[in-house]
Chains A and B, each alone.
Chain A
Amino acid sequence: MSASAIPLQAFLTVAAVLFCTGVWGLINSRNAVRVLMSIELMLNAVNINLMAFSSYVDGQLIRGQVFAIFVITVAAAEAAVGLAILLSLYRNRETVDMERFNLLRW
């Protein structure tokens, strides 16, 4: 691939925008499912960074791609367990409002 077609910083910028959007959604979402979606967005931003560095800086031993595969695996496990916790929570409290999941507060 021609190295100068797209600068590395362009990929980093896209990943930063995605990560900050995910952080904002994680803080401000009222719906618990949307919180899980925001976590997935943040994991994808990290994966874009890993893949960009693996292609631009570490082109021969593509260790970033291996790390990205591990991150994808852990994200799949996290989504499964998170949604199971969400279902159990919904069954007990009959709401998905994050503001009412405050049993352990204070």
Chain B
Amino acid sequence: MTIASTTQQVCFVLLSAAVVLGSLGVVLLPNIVYSAFLLGGVFLSVSGLYLLLNASFVAAAQILVYVGAVNVLILFAIMLVNKKENLSAIPGLPLRRILSGLVCAGLFGLLMRVAFTTPWALPGPVPVGEEATIRIGEHLFSDYLLPFELASVLLLMAMIGAIVLARRDVFASDVITGEPVDQGLIEKARTPLLIDTPDPQLQETR
């Protein structure tokens, strides 16, 4: 490691500020598109923190998976469901926000107490540094082989499940009535399957 410790500290402060402010922006900003882009910034800053911890492989995996896949997926979902809707007001919403903020502050205090009072086994062994990628490969193909293979099965299940859940039904005729069914392939206004639809005639006119 050739970076001086002052440089490390400056980088850590900058990255931490980016992570904290970005996550607050993700949660608090009213426009969800800004939230999604800030989420990408948070992911990038977290991968910078991993680089400070000498974990270049995990930093690369973080950028590839989170910024390249998850963030793009979230942006696509926002584009697909992006409809301006006026959210109905809920009584007691500010009180709920304050109460949950207090609960989260309490959780933060608890975590801080644990972090600062536990006698960690420091200093530990000398970190492997640049050999981390080699060690991860050895772990993945020796003692973590079964979780590694299970992760591939999990990814296959998630892929098939996402396709099954997100596709539209393509029945040519209605199973019950036998009439030709709306394929739903063209975006147009249609009555949603709301349980609390006010008048049943609206359902019959379809």
Contacts and interface: CB of A to CB of B under 8 A. Distances in A.
Interface of A: 1-6, 8-14, 16-25, 27-31, 33-34, 36-38, 40-41, 44, 47-48, 51-52, 54-63, 65-66, 68-70, 72-81, 83-88, 90-97, 99, 103
Contact of A41 (B12, B26, B125, B163): B26
Given A37-B36, A59-B124, A63-B139, A6 B12 contact: yes
B27 A57 contact: no
B172 interface: no
Contacts of B88: 97, 99
Given A2-B5, A33-B81, A75-B70, A21 B27 contact: yes
A91 B168 CA distance: 9
Contact of B124 (A6, A21, A34, A57): A57
Contact of A80 (B27, B39, B151, B159): B159
A44 B27 contact: no
A79 B74 contact: yes
A16 to B, nearest CB: 4
B32 A66 contact: no
A87 B16 contact: no
Contact of B122 (A14, A57, A62, A88): A57
Contacts of A76: 65, 69-70, 155, 158
Interface string B51-68: 011110110011001100
A16 B115 contact: yes
Interface stretch (B173-181, B189-197, B198-206): B189-197
A-B pairs with the 10 shortest C-beta distances? A77-B158, A25-B27, A5-B5, A59-B127, A84-B165, A94-B192, A84-B162, A84-B166, A12-B115, A16-B111
Given A2-B1, A29-B27, A66-B136, A23 B104 contact: yes
B53 A77 contact: no
Given A73-B151, A76-B65, A92-B193, A33 B107 contact: no
